[in-house]
Amino acid sequence: MLAIVAGLAVIVLALTACTPFLGPSQNATSGADPSATAGAPPELTKYYQQQIQWSSCENGLECAKVTVPVDYSKPDGDTIQLAVARLRGKNTSASLLVNPGGPGASGIDLVRDSATQMFTQKLRDAYNIIGWDPRGVKRSAPVTCLNASQEDAARQMNIDPSTPAGLDQAFAEQKTVIQACEANTGPILAHTDTVSSARDMDIIRAVAAGQSKLNYFGFSYGTFLGATYASLFSDRVGRFVLDGALDPALDASQITIGQAKGFEDALHAYVRSCLAGSGCPMHGTEDEAVTQVRNLLQSIAKHPMPTTDGRILPITDFVNGMIIPLYNDQNWSVLTGALTSAFRGDGSAMLRLSDLAADRESDGTYSSNSNFAFMAYNCLDYSEPSDPAGMAAEAAQLEQASPTFGQFFAYGGVNCRDWPYKPVRTPAPAHYTGSSPIVVVGTTGDPATPYPWAQSLRSELGNAGLLTWNGQGHTAYGRGSTCIDDAVDGYLVDGNAPKDGARC
């Protein structure tokens, strides 16, 4: 789950495209373990017993399609195909399903582009790593709204929803986007939600992993998806790691306020580091330096910044770009460079970061539909105030929680007020009754999924343990902590769950 900024804009993880191609080897598989299909609802038997064709595709992966119903209440109705890909382990039949977050990020891209860097050799030897594009995402019946030029135009707008005229304009522009989603997407638009996606995971478990228990590694929003699966299918949970936890009991306003405060704290941590080094574009005390950043944002809110590629940089794109390096303290030097240029009046470097957030390529195309998938999931998973008074009250709370970013996180209710389908879930704690312990990983300086959310999720799950990293940035595994990586690998590979409360 990532932040909604300034109503119309969303932040998503930037991953690149993959087009599977047929290679020399093909093999059909269904559940390798006969018990993999046991317990399937009779009306869904044909989905659980389907045979899928694995074929060679890019970067040494194998790709396949898994058929699932659009609407689980109408299993004989429309169907879609989910794109899945696996990186083969070393002489192993065990599989690990992975999700990078979002909602809207591609699991295939994660496995194709990052698996060998992100997951240790020990983990890759022990498991076939399986990624998939969830329903509505990229290769799996994608939510389709604007074309590239239309998306560019939408990002160029500089709307202030805190004024009556600006709010009217924001609703009107968003309604145009929603109408395009309705026209271009099809019936999946009504069913791009987390509960349906979790049910898809169980079919993937049976036909792609071929196991009676699901082994799973979810990051960020992927923890919410994993907790939803664990609540629905407690008896089918194998080894589960949830890193960068989102608490499913939180409503949309609580999430937004938590993230706004998280990024405020991350900004202060970055500023302290920046001032302690050389070449920092801010000066003075920590508070004085943060004030300089706030003044820069206020200036851009009134007067979008020029760039060298002909586009302007409105405040929404500036904030989206600025937040991206705050996800990982190893990227703070990139933020220093972009801010240095911005203080000199050139927004080009920050625009490139904003393009990265939006999955925009240098040729002007967009490599994913992550913005629109994010919106679709959140409009069905959450309800939030969309009346002017309610949003103004939330805006005041946000500005108190985050004096720098709060106002730009406000008015998120614009996104979904005119969505054609009502939310399908009410926020509630996870409810897990399984016998397999779940490992929740939390980072103390995580801006996008604040550490208290990991503590809450661990408590809700019951049969779970919390592994803590004292660090900065979003998620923990694969980010340089040998302590974290060894603890997670020891659980996933050897079955040794870290002690609840362990810290790195």
Whether the Cβ atoms of residue 220 and residue 448 lie closer than 8 Å to each other:
yes
Query: How many CA atoms lie less than 13 Å away from 294 in the CB half-sphere?
Result: 15
Q: Among 197, 474, 485, 489, which one carries the catalytic annotation?
A: 474
The pair of three-digit structure tokens given for residue 243, joined into one six-digit string: 């890193």
Sign of CA dihedral 437, 262, 448, 188: positive
Angle at the Cα of 132 from the Cα atoms of 223 and 210, rounded to 5 degrees: 95
Which residue shows structure tokens 């959310």?
Answer: 453
Cα separation, 215 vs 35, whole angstroms: 15
Q: In this structure, what token pair is assigned to residue 451?
A: 């550490």
> Which of 220, 253, 341, 402 is an active site residue?
220
Is 200 known to be catalytic? no
Q: Report angle CA 340, 371, 329 to the nearest 5 degrees.
A: 40
Verify whether residue 283 is a known catalytic residue: no
Q: Which of 295, 306, 326 is nearest to 474 (CA)?
A: 326
Run of H or E residues at 9: strand 9-10
Residue found under tokens 């202030």: 160
Q: Is 220 a catalytic residue?
A: yes
Burial of 490 (0-12, 13-18, 19+ CB in 10 A): middle
Q: Which residues of 282-305 are buried (b: 16+ CB within 10 A; e: fewer)?
A: beeeeeebbebbeebbeebbeebb
The closest of 142, 69, 147 to 102, measured between CA atoms, is 142
Spell out the long-range contacts of 304-309 with Cβ–Cβ below 8 A and sequence spacing 24 or more: 304/158, 304/347, 305/342, 305/345, 305/346, 305/347, 305/350, 306/345, 306/346, 306/347, 307/346, 307/347, 307/348, 307/351, 308/346, 308/348, 309/348, 309/351
Burial class (CB in 10 A: 0-12, 13-18, 19+), 275: middle
Catalytic, out of 446, 456, 485, 489: 446
């389907």: which residue's tokens? 50
Beta-strand pair 214-219/237-243 = parallel
Catalytic residue numbers, as ranges: 220, 446, 474
